[in-house]
Amino acid sequence: MSVLTLERVSKRFDQTIAVDDLSFSVEQGTVFGFLGGNGAGKTTSLRMVLDIIRPTSGKIEVLGRPPGRENAADIGFLPEERGLYRQMTALDTIAYFGRLKGMTAADAKLEGAALLDRFGLAASTKQTVDKLSKGMAQKVQLATALVNRPRLLILDEPFSGLDPVNQGLLEDEIRRISAGGSTVVFSTHVMQHAERLCDWLLLLGRGRKMFEGTLDDARAQLPARLALVAKNDPSRLPGVESAEDHGEAEPGWRRWDVRLEPGVEPGHVLEQCVAEQFPLRRFEQVHASLHDVFVHIVGTPETEQ
């Protein structure tokens, strides 16, 4: 069942096209990674999903309905630029956002207190935000997004600015929510987080969709590579595009970084080695990183815009 669908959505600001003919859908229960460099159109797309801005053209459906505040009760949102009311207490802040999402004051306070307890802030519920450390405030911000136990959690660059402890906490929360059957959509330009968390990926470049699929699908976009330790140069083997000598492994044996021709399976090369009695001491398939895939498809994340 699709939780979020975008059909041919575009957004134009004056002469700039921020999102260009974007279509995708997110299935319930998945962790959906929305990847792209700065200015790729990630935040604009998410703001359209939340009805903070309206698309120039195209259609969006959120939880079976058009975007709007009536969806707020089922959505949790953590924006990239985060802030809190400095003079409000941690618990009141969470309860306030809970109420704006349709919860009763009592439920919002109860859930807020439970979240603060889970995040190790039980002693700070009555403290005003300006007296909390940055790390504590980050946890409170996360709690404002989770207070209504959302069916769809939207996180815009959630890991930016977080300390390592809170990064781990957020990863755990994403896994917890996904395990509970909710859907998580998060944008990032840090590929390691997406690699660890996402079931489904969408790569965005200059407002356009460049790739959509699983992590394995993404890796398959790059030619397979092998790490070999062999006596002879493997570049003459059938299916090998190039081989780079990485020096001596032991006397008489050398390390090779082998790039295969597109579509060639590593198993096929191994068969050839056996058939031709090509001496080998190591034969290992090297998986491409998401970063490599991203650079291959979009360009470097930092320079993509």
Partner 1 sequence: MKNVLIVAAREFRQIASMRSFWLTLLIMPLSIAAGAVAPQLFDKDQADRVMIIDRTGGSEAQALGQRFKLDEARDKLSALSRYVQRHHLERADPAALWAQHDRWYSDADVARFVAEGGPAAAKAKIARVKAEDTPEFTPPEPDFELVPVPASLAKVPDAQLDRALKPVLKPTDKDAKAVDYIILIPASFGESPLVRLWANKQPSQQFVGIVQDVLTRGLRTRFLAAQGVSPDAAESASTIAPTLAISTPPPGGGAREAMLVRSILPLAAAYLLMISLMLSGSWMLQGTVEERSNKLLETVLACVSPQELMYGKLLGTAGVGLFMIAVWVGCGIFAGYATHGAIADLIRPALDPLTSPGTILALIYFFVVGYVTIAIMFLAIGAMSDSMRDAQGYLMPVLLLILLPITILMQAVLGGNNGGVLMEVLTWVPIWTPFAVLARLGLGIPTWEVVGTGILLAAFTAAEMVLLGRLFRASLLAQGQRPNVREVISRMRAVPS
User: What mask, x for binding partner 1 by CB under 8 A, covers residues 277 to 296?
Assistant: --------------------
Figure out which of the listed residues 8, 69, 236, 268 binds partner 1, where binding follows CB under 8 A: 69
Distances (CA, A) of 175 to 138, 182, 221: 18, 10, 27
Q: How near is the Cβ of 240 to partner 1 at its closest, in Å?
A: 51
Q: Which part of the chain contacts partner 1 (CB under 8 A), choosing from 17-25, 83-91, 235-243, 285-293?
A: 83-91
Q: How near is the Cβ of 295 to partner 1 at its closest, in Å?
A: 29
Q: Residues 100, 101, 106, 108: is their CA dihedral positive or negative?
A: negative
Q: CB-wise, 99 or 255, nearer to partner 1?
A: 99
Per the document, the length of the chain is: 305
CA distance 219 to 291: 10
Figure out which of the listed residues 17, 72, 270, 273 binds partner 1, where binding follows CB under 8 A: 72
By CB under 8 A, the residues from 9 to 48 that bind partner 1 are 47
Structure-token pair, residue 191: 């590929």
User: What mask, x for binding partner 1 by CB under 8 A, covers residues 87 to 126?
Assistant: xx-------xx-xxx-------------------------
Q: Is residue 79 involved in binding partner 1 (CB under 8 A)?
A: yes
3-state class (DSSP) for residue 61: strand
CA distance 16 to 34: 21
Q: How near is the Cβ of 82 to partner 1 at its closest, in Å?
A: 6
E-strand stretches of the chain: 2-13, 16-27, 31-36, 57-62, 75-78, 152-156, 183-188, 200-205, 208-213, 225-230, 240-250, 253-260, 280-286
Residues that bind partner 1 (CB under 8 A): 47, 50, 52-54, 69, 72, 75, 77-79, 81-88, 96-97, 99-101, 141, 144
